[in-house]
Amino acid sequence: MTNVLILGANGQLARNTTRMFLQTTDARLTLYLRRSSRLTCPAPQRATVVEGDVLDRPTLEAAMKGQDVVYANLSGAMKEQAECIVGAMHATGLRRLIFISSMGIHGEVPGERYSSVLDPYRDSAAVIEASDLDYTILRPGWFTRDASLDYQLTQKGEPFKGHDVSLNSLSALIVKLALTPGMEIRRNLGVSQG
């Protein structure tokens, strides 16, 4: 049984991925968020809700104990959060990180120019890539709500294909990455509809 720590557990993608973990796997989940009152525990026998800020190292390290995988779905001070995650993972001996970023951080979307709004995503990805962790950075397109489980991946440096990806496709990829040792380690991947 895999233990997964979900950082930013109240986000739209994180909630969808939590549902998919619970419906399709036997993984045990720790749902970490700043205000735990905003989230009802979806399956008390397999999920635990923990209140904490990713920038609070002692609380973050406590939540990492006994985990196999960290899945981070964050916003805000992303560079500082990435630095805290890397430091806490080193302190607890945890290696596997799935980190959600954004399409466009490497100028990889043909015909698009993005403003400084993407700087926090770009800076946090650089922190993760500079670490020695077994990371996978995902740069998804815009979320859609269709039921499809169809996606395509592009490597860092390759042009992004399309602009959209369904929440279900992205959640299915995250679950697969979390439960498949060695899959796409130390990769920075664009994710769009297949």
Q: What is the pLDDT of residues 167-185, one digit of tens each?
A: 999 999 999 999 999 999 9
Dihedral, CA atoms, 90, 42, 38, 65, nearest 10 degrees? -20
Are 50 and 63 in contact, with CB atoms under 8 Å apart? Answer: yes
Q: What is the enclosing helix (H) or strand (E) of 118?
A: none
* Residue ranges in the chain whose pLDDT is less than 50: none
pLDDT the model gives residue 148: 80
| Tokens encoding 60 | 């973050």
Nearest-angstrom CA–CA distance, 174 and 71? 8
Compute the residue count for the chain.
194
Nearest-angstrom CA–CA distance, 151 and 50? 31
Looking from the CA of 108 toward its CB, the CA atoms found within 13 Å total 26
| Tokens encoding 17 | 């991925």
**3-193 is a CATH 3.40.50.720 domain:** yes
pLDDT the model gives residue 63: 98
| Tokens encoding 146 | 């269709």
User: For residue 128, which of 71, 46, 52, 65 has the smallest C-alpha distance?
Assistant: 71
Beta strands in 52-146 (DSSP E): 69-72, 96-100, 134-140, 142-144
